[in-house]
Structure 1
Amino acid sequence: MTDSQIAGINADRLRKFAAKEAKRYSESRPLAAKALAKGAGAFLNGVPMHWMRDWPMPYLPLVARAKGSKIKDIDGNELDDFCLGDTGSMFGHSPAPVAQAIRKQARRGLTYMLPTEAALQAGALLCERFGNFKWQIATTATDANRFALRVARAVTGKPKVLVFNGCYHGTLDDTMVELVQGKPANRPGLIGQVQDLTRAATVAEFNDLAGVEALLKKGDVAAILTEPVMTNSCMVLPQAGFHDGLRQLTRKYGALLIIDETHTISSGLGGYTRVHSLSPDMFVVGKCVAGGMPTAVWGMTDEVAARFNAYDAKRPSGHSGMGTTLSANPMQFACLTATLAEVMTPENYAHMEKGAERLSAGLAKAIEKHGAPWHVVRVGARVEFICAPGPLKSGTEAADAHQPEVEAALHTALLNRGSLIAPFHNMMLISPVTKSRQIDRLIASFDEILGDLFAPANKN
């Protein structure tokens, strides 16, 4: 009888390994356990944001401070941070120019619903970094995507957005759909969902241009909203010609193309769009664009802006359904200007690319050494090991490749060895201040862990 396996690992060995690592974690964080037991009860289920329960360790650490590419918790454990706030701190924690901008602006006021000179500087820098778009400021990429879709529907007069199966665009309702037996359906597990989201959204598989065209032919799609690379699942790269095909099809059928670079800003200076010469009608980026200050930006081409202005001039007066009071506040502009001018630089991206290549090669070497049926994917400064063979071509394949039990054990084991990676999948980022020794330490830990998990049976 063959022993059961998960991602090529003996299931019994995996569970014993996970239990050992969980015990090691708990033994190294007694102060966090005590503090949480005393003070977490004021929060729903003990956490200030519900998804914090999804971290795979036995309980949360409590951060004392974060600086550069390191985090220190209240128990004195110091971690090399490769999660970096799931891209929010991709350029490192508190970059000096951003911290200085915060201190300076704090003396001048935090919000007042009016622009500053820094706002004008930010507009010019946004065009320099990302392209000649007409920009607007939001607080989150979810909001930016929501507003961009309103504009797309307004100028096209069409109701639907086309997204890709397994996509991620924040918590935007319109994108919470998936393919079930080839047909669009609400994603399962949505809290309090009472509407049929497929009335305003449709779904295709990433890399499937024929499927995209079949949906566009129906004539009811206002826009395609897509990441250049699928990133909030097991990472899926675009196949050759896919993005050119999307651009041609949207023009043919009168839909707009919206590129969301909130994660793929890791691709290089100007994001995947600039690096690969894409030409979207609308562009969205958030998370790290202001160095970690809650900020997102979205822009449209001159052509779309003209169409929107013509629509806007004729619409009835009243609420637009767009905008939030705290968006475009002076603190955002101070941080945005500092990040675009002094942090998001060619030199920093060159360092990030070099480090990510070092990490990617080291992880791939360890996988090959231990004969794991896994693979590694990299997009600029973003690296992911996937516990399945690859490359993956679609959201369905990405979902099938996801191995939560293996990933949870690996996450805790790496954390015990001093490296923090993203909690929801095996994503790692290299910042401008990440050191080679930190990368090598992560690779060595990964190699050690795979040695335990894939050791011959007689060494079990």
Structure 2
Amino acid sequence: MTSQTSPSQPSVQQINAFREREARVYAKARPKSKKRFADGVAGFLDGVPMHWMLDWPMPFPMVVEKASGAAITDIDGIELDDFCLGDTGSMFGHSPPPVARAIRRQARRGLTYMLPSEDVLELGHLLTTMFGLPQWQIATTASDANRFALRVARAVTGRAKILVFNGCYHGAVEETFVRLKDGKPVNKPGLSGQFRDLTEDTKVIEFNDVAALEAVLAPGDAACVIAEPVLTNSCMVLPDPGYHAELRRITRETGTLLLIDETHTISSGLGGYTRVHGLDPDIFVLGKPIAGGVPASVWGLSAGVAERYSDYTRRKPWGYSGIGTTLSANPLQFACMKATLTDVMTAKNYRHMEKLAARLADGLSDAVARAKLPWHVARVGARVEFICAPGPLRNGAEAEAAHAPALEAAIHVGLVNRGCLIAPFHNMMLVSPATRKKQVDRLVDAFGEICGELAG
């Protein structure tokens, strides 16, 4: 009789040895980046222009010389197949030609002037055609769009509370920084300068829990549920079959608005998860890739919510609404969004992206199986993640438990040394219209080699 052993994780010693070896390889290959960045950049807090640049798991960040399509080149002349793509900001590739042309054209006409350009005449129709909702506003980031949309939700419902899902991510929206700890809502750890209890006005439950959803919305005091269709800024969690239908039913029965934040799940297909899966939100938010890499976001309202908000604004006192910024809805955004919606965010491009993403997911899954590791792979359209734990996962608590920072960091550096860049904060890979089959196959081969070394 042969004994059967369950797949096991690499040991701490294996992980550390692998990462130390890969760190040496990385540093040796990048003398210019090391010289210019290893000790930080003078004049910037902690040596970086944005703190999360320190979160890359490499020994020091590479300095980028250029990026084009689905590749990025550093100042040491090393070209990487880019599957991070600005963590979705460049989901359709770096500088898509229609967007680059739009930037050049608009740069000659002015970048911001607080008035509409002719591109606006088409943009509203394009947004409605692509995403379904009839009324739109422009913002600069998804964080802004979510903040503004939550103000609208509270204004039209007269309710203060919102509901989020444990493990969610909605940018820098303060009210969403809560989590469950031992089943109780608490402020999310690590918030800088947090001085109030966010759980006073924010409810939090686990994703995919219909009974909890019914119970928490039953009092009728929540203005809005703000939801990603798929939990993404963690180990990916897909919805159970029928969960979104129940979410929509329960929100309607309790008079609670439903905000769907598609900033990451726009990878799902043309029109995002909402269009692909027939969701029917009251409010829709999309940031990052809507302008092909230029900072922009949109938020849309259903006809009913738009009418209620128009009634509200006619009655409210005059004064600053707390919605909008001076740089929101500038003509550069209009030009780039029009180009993206017309010539980049196309059915043809999505077919290419999804075909190669399926190939990537299958290849990664095969590599995990060959190495006999207790991991799994998740995919939503053109977005793929490997997760260093068994799956599938069903909620934020399981996603948090599945996160393996040291192991994931080691794999990340190993992939960079083999010519492949993935997202630094989680194991996310995006396939763009510019991504080619040979790039996907290189990533699969590199991942397979690393799995074999870690499992050995």
- What is the TM-score with the length of structure 1 in the denominator? 0.97
Q: Is the 8 A contact 2:63 2:74 kept in 1?
A: yes
- For residues 106-185 of structure 1, the aligned pairs below 5 Å read 106-185=107-186
In structure 1, C-alpha distance between the alignment counterparts of 2:14 and 2:389, rounded to whole Å: 18
Q: Is 1:6–1:406's contact at 8 Å kept on the other side of the alignment?
A: no
* Partner in structure 2 of residue 458 of structure 1: none
Q: Output the CA distance in 1 between the equivalents of 2:38 and 2:376.
A: 40
5 Å-filtered alignment, 1:36-435, equals 36=37, 40-435=41-436
Residue 179 of structure 1: SS of its match in structure 2?
Answer: strand
CA distance in 1, matches of 2:37, 2:216: 50
Report the residue type matching 2:398 in the other structure. Answer: E
CA contact (8 A) 1:293 1:335 kept: yes
Q: Given residue 362 of structure 1, which amino acid in structure 2 is its aligned partner?
A: G
Question: Take 1:206 and 1:422, find their aligned partners in 2: how far apart are those partners?
Answer: 23
Structure 1 stretches of 4+ moved >6 Å: none
Q: Give the distance between the partners of 1:245 and 1:132, measured in 2 at CA.
A: 21
| Separation in structure 1 between the aligned mates of residue 40 and residue 88 of structure 2, nearest angstrom | 28
Q: Distance in 2 between matches of 1:120 and 1:193?
A: 42
Once the two structures are TM-superposed, the CA of residue 250 in structure 1 deviates from its matched residue by 0.5
Greater shift in the superposed pair: 42-51 or 388-397: 42-51
Cα distance, 1:166 vs. partner?
A: 0.5
Q: CA–CA distance in 1 between the matches of 2:386 and 2:40?
A: 36
* C-alpha distance in structure 1 between counterparts of 2:314 and 2:40, whole Å: 53
C-alpha change, 1:34 and 1:7, in structure 2 (3 Å) is: farther
CA distance in 1, matches of 2:146, 2:378: 26
Give the match's secondary structure for 1:35: helix
- Matched with 2:3 is none
**Structure 1 residue runs without a partner (length 5+):** 456-460
Identity of aligned residues (%): 61
The answer (yes or no) to whether the contact 1:266–1:379 under 8 Å persists in 2 is yes
Partner AA of 2:135 in structure 1: K
| Mapping for residues 2-21 of structure 1, pairs under 5 Å | 8-21=9-22
In the TM superposition, residue 6 of structure 1 has moved relative to its aligned partner by 12
Q: Conserved in 2, the CA contact under 8 Å of 1:7 and 1:387? A: no
Counterpart Cα distance in 1 of 2:139 and 2:376: 36
Shift of 1:209: 1.1
Report the Cα offset of residue 14 of structure 1.
1.2
Q: How far apart are the structure 2 equivalents of 1:226 and 1:29?
A: 41
Q: How big is each residue's C-alpha offset from its partner over 1:342-365, in whole Å with a ceiling of 9 and x where there is no partner?
A: 000000000000000000000000
Shift of 1:132: 3.0
Tell me which amino acid in the other structure corresponds to 1:184.
P
Give deviations 1:416-443, integer Å, cap 9, x for gaps: 0000000011000000010000000000
> In the alignment, is the contact (CA less than 8 A) between 1:7 and 1:388 conserved in 2?
no
Q: Deviations over 1:68-119 (max 9, x none)?
A: 0000000011000000000000000000000000000000000000001101
**RMSD of aligned C-alpha atoms?**
1.2
| Deviation readout 1:103-146 (Å, 9 max, x if unpaired) | 00000000000001101211111011111320000000000000
* Paired position in structure 2 for 1:29: 30
Which deviations, in whole Å up to 9, do the C-alpha atoms of 1:177-233 show, x marking residues without a partner? 011222211111100000111122110100011111111112210000000000000
SS for the counterpart of 1:284 is strand
Q: 1:409 & 1:277 partners in 2: Cα distance?
A: 39
* Secondary structure class of the residue paired with 1:42: coil
How many residue pairs were aligned? 451
Is this contact kept in 2: 1:137–1:296, CA < 8 A?
yes
Structure 2 counterpart of 1:290, one-letter code: A
